[in-house]
Structure 1
Amino acid sequence: MHGFLTVGSIAGMFALAATAMAQLQNIPNFGNNPTGLKMDVNVPSNLQKPALILALHPCGGSGQQYAQMTGYANQGAQRKYISVFPSSSRDFNCWDVASAASLKRDGNGDSTGLANMVKYAIETWNVDPKKVFVTGSSSGCMMTNVMIAAYPDLFTAATCYSGVAAGCLKGSPGSSPISADPTCANGQINLGPAQWAQRARDIYPGYSGAYPKLSTLHGTADTLVRPANLDQQLAQWSNLHGVSLTATNPNTPQSGYSQRVYGDGSKLVGYLAQNVGHTVPVNSDLDYKWFGL
């Protein structure tokens, strides 16, 4: 079987002992939701102009499971942010990063519903629009790339773990381990930086503004989403940001990880994790540093 995370492996990942976690509330009506996504949110009390993190689960998962896995909901009060944990229930709970509807700004796909969650949160809880972030693992990382291509004016920064470039699965029958064309996950779409960048631009044609900064991580032992996908993401976003590789720092941010810095490091960095499979474990401290929280 090709793909990203199997349903069985996700079930094992989330077979964790129950731990105390900040409470999530479900928001049933947050605006146009063409694909029936679910929105769960943690809103700490007494925050003034909070930041926002949109956190996207892997295939087979859910927003509540990803909240437990990442711990983002537990840090909101201290770091002054709201966290949104959406859930997809179609195509083995993977995010749609393949259809024409989702690979288009306001195209009435999954990306539209996710953007409307963010807009609802900004309006409802007085979120600082300059502090809106998106992150995700596996399928969630794939959708992270799509979201910052489709809604670059909505997000400030992004981090993601073990995904693919925006538009990599364009034209695939689906986005799950069962339905997806394996060419993308296998890293076999051989495009140059300008061509990868064009795939992102095609999601929001005519946009001429700046794109959110991105920090992306991948493991060298990933046999489900091959590590060539890290190179493809970095090629895509280096072109969009107009930056090139300037430094490679070993053992950063930890032993066995190699950091790739583009330009001055303020717009794009990548991390290759030696002997790490699918997926790279979420490093929330690294995320918070990238987000400035």
Structure 2
Amino acid sequence: MPLPPRPGAPVAPGARPRARLLPRLLAVLAVVLGTVLAGPAPRADAAVTLTRVNDFGSNPGALTMYVYRPATLPVRPPVVVALHGCTQNAQVYADNSGLPRLADQDGFLLVFAETGTANNANKCFNWFQSGDNRRGQGEALSVRQMVSHAVTAYGADPGRVHVTGLSAGGAMTAVMLATYPDVFAAGAIVAGLPYDCTKDNSPYTCMNPGVDRSPADWARRVRDAHPSYTGPWPRTAIWYGDRDTTVVPRNATELRDQWTALHGLSQTPTRTRAIGPDATRQDQYLAADGTVAVEVDQVPGIGHGTPVDPGTGGEQCGGTGAPYFLDSICSSRWIARFFGLDTTDPGDPGPGDPDPGDPGTAACWTASNYAHVQAGRATVGGGYTYAVGSGQNMGLYNTFVTHTLKESPTGYYTLADSGCP
């Protein structure tokens, strides 16, 4: 939950002073915290062992670096940087996000960045502060220095560096993608906000009700973060709960506008499918080469938090041992898949591509093309209907053409007119 710092909060040694806000924000902050954190006691989970790194650079943002290194790593492993939400820390995020288990399975190095009360009274990353959300300074530079250390100290692959985070950590993920597009290949923003929303708005306004700007305006704010950059933009996944009242769903729409515009894509998805046990809606925006450049995942029935699915199944991960971890879908598994890191699935063809090897239960659906589209089993393009997942042409989009679609795995459809077991 991204909230402003307490006025007069102490400054960590070596850090520059933080911007001070009006004292009346204290009352607002207390009300919001009391509302959001109220609820049943969380279930405890086993702690993940993290290694603290004390010397990774000048650290102008006064952050703390932790590393989770699987027992077995490939040569030049990929890196995933993980950024916790407000009131959390690196240990809580490691214990409940499911990322360490996936790092063990898929062979990537995990870097957990942590902020504390010396930076922000609620342990939020300062995504809204110009001193922290600009290239070459503050917290953004500290995270970048952690990546440099991971590459040199652990022999990681600088071309396969990714970042993800929740809430304030999700907003900070957007900061990292915008300020260091030359460092990060892809990112996943969970319950976060578009980059530089607070350029002309308060953090609270950005969170709820959100700010509506044109895709071109949002994209310009990212370009302004690194004006000399001419390379490809990071691929971006956006996750949110459709009942989030803390960082409202409008922010996911504005994030989509920001990153599709940067990639030169339409704001209409190329294809849509349902994934996971809760039928999460996944909209994908494909680049000219067929790669998924932007992805938006709408998780039904949940509020503000990281979607997890506790259990030992191949598509399960995470725990509900702390606030803001919500039992629904293993978002970390799908994020690793989006990053192209999923090695447990022999059918996974590569980063951002359809995932026909994903395990699931087969089902058959016979209906008109119109009904298939309305149910999310197919999409429309140029007046024609295409099966979600396989992309097979099903003919004209109308109520007269009827097909049988086989769903296997969940959310991946193929034509099965000749018979479907």
Asked if these proteins are the same fold (TM beyond 0.5), I'd say: yes
Report the counterpart of residue 225 of structure 1 in structure 2: 247
Preserved contact between residue 170 and residue 191 of structure 2 (Cα < 8 Å)? yes
2:151 counterpart of 1:122: yes
Q: Which runs of 5+ in 1 are unaligned?
A: 173-179
Choose which of 307, 313, 318 in structure 2 pairs with 1:281.
307
Larger Rg, first or second structure (1 or 2): 2
Aligned to 2:236: 214
Of 132, 147, 160, the match for 1:102? 132
1:208-249 deviation per Cα after TM superposition (whole angstroms, max 9, x unaligned): 211110111111211111100000000000011111223352
| 8 Å CA contact retained: 1:156, 1:213 | yes
> Are the counterparts in 2 of residues 98 and 167 from structure 1 also a CA contact under 8 Å?
yes
Q: 1:119 to 1:201 in 2, by over 3 A?
A: same
1:16-71 Cα shifts (integer Å, max 9, x gaps):
424153x2110011002112101111122452211111001001111111000112
Report the equivalent of 1:80: 107
For the residue of structure 1 that corresponds to 2:247, the secondary structure is coil
Which of 113, 138, 141 does residue 170 from structure 2 map onto?
A: 141
Partner of 1:176: none
Q: Which range is displaced more, 55-64 or 245-254?
A: 245-254
Shift of the 113–77 alpha-carbon distance from structure 1 to 2, 3 Å rule, reads same
How does 1:9-28 map onto structure 2 within 5 Å? 9=36, 15-19=42-46, 21=48, 23-28=49-54
Deviates more, 1:180-189 or 1:161-170: 180-189
SS at match of 1:166: coil
Greater relative contact order (Cα 8 A, min sep 6): structure 1 or 2? 1
**In structure 2, what residue type is equivalent to 1:94?**
C
Unaligned runs of 5+ in 2: 1-27, 309-330, 342-421
TM-score, length of structure 1 as denominator length: 0.89
Q: What value does the CA root-mean-square deviation take over the aligned residues?
A: 2.3
Aligned: 1:6 with 2:36: no
Percentage of pairs with the same residue: 31
Matches within 5 A, 1:1-293: 1=28, 6=33, 9=36, 15-19=42-46, 21=48, 23-47=49-73, 48-89=75-116, 90-91=119-120, 92-106=122-136, 108-170=137-199, 181-244=203-266, 245-263=268-286, 264=290, 266-282=292-308, 283-293=331-341
Aligned residue type for 2:282: Q
Deviations 1:225-284 (A, max 9, x none): 110000000000001111122335252344342121212452111012222211241512
Distance change >3 Å, CA 254–CA 238, structure 1 → 2? farther
Q: TM-score, normalised by structure 2?
A: 0.63
1:76 partner amino acid: A
Aligned length: 283
Q: CA deviation at 1:13?
A: 9.0
CA distance in structure 1 between the aligned counterparts of 2:173 and 2:154, rounded to whole angstroms:
22
